[in-house]
Amino acid sequence: MSQKKPLIIGVGGTTRAGSSSEKLLRFALAAASSKGAETLAFSGPDINLPMYAPETPERDEKAVTLIEALRRADGVIIASPGYHGSISGLVKNALDYVEDTRADPRVYFDGMAVGCITAAYGYQAAVVTLTMLRSITHALRGWPTPLGVAANSLGLEFDDMGAPKDAALRSQLDMLAGQVLDFAMRK
């Protein structure tokens, strides 16, 4: 008898392909995949959506695809750059679309683990942004994983495969992915 693989959805990055936050997100999703999860990433162009307007029920195709994937998700990993003391407008707008699940049997991220990752030019911005992302996760009824990852993009280097060269950062991302997956498998 085969058991369904948990689906972990990644949301994040910037409009610039290959940004630090996107690479960190993809590394964490690869770690989740290596532990037995099915993963799906929504970054850059995938989340460059029209401004969320709750009074307008029409959604473009990318928004519908994102929300349908999140409805099927067993866990979520979100990665945002730190912009001026908060998450980026791109990531925040994508998360605003989660409001479309308000009447679903599972509202928002209720009962799901959410791994939070931030990348910013300096630890102060990265940590403040991580705190904001964890607060948004709470507002969406999600369970932020015990470990959140705040990466200082100053001097952050990646190998040719997109993995962070810093072993401690790789270990943190692997642990975060494991926590999301472990929680998803307990349901």
Domain residue spans in the chain? 7-186
Is the pLDDT at 1 greater than 50? The verdict is no
Give one DSSP letter per residue of 3-72, joined into a string.
Answer: PPPPEEEEEE--SSTT-HHHHHHHHHHHHHHHTT-EEEEEEGGGG-PPPP-TT-----HHHHHHHHHHHH
> What pLDDT was estimated at residue 4?
86
Assess contact for 42 and 66: CB atoms under 8 A.
yes
Q: Tens of pLDDT along 30-53? A: 999 999 999 999 999 999 999 999
pLDDT cut 70: percent of the chain above it: 99
Mean pLDDT of the chain: 96
So what's the pLDDT on residue 187?
72
**0.85 exceeded by the pTM?**
yes
- CA–CA separation, 15 and 156 (whole Å): 19
Local confidence band at 121 (pLDDT 50, 70, 90 cut-offs): very high
- The arrangement of secondary structure in 7-186, i.e. its CATH architecture, is 3-Layer(aba) Sandwich (3.40)
**Cβ-contact 180, 77 below 8 angstroms:** yes
| pLDDT higher than threshold 60 for residue 66 | yes
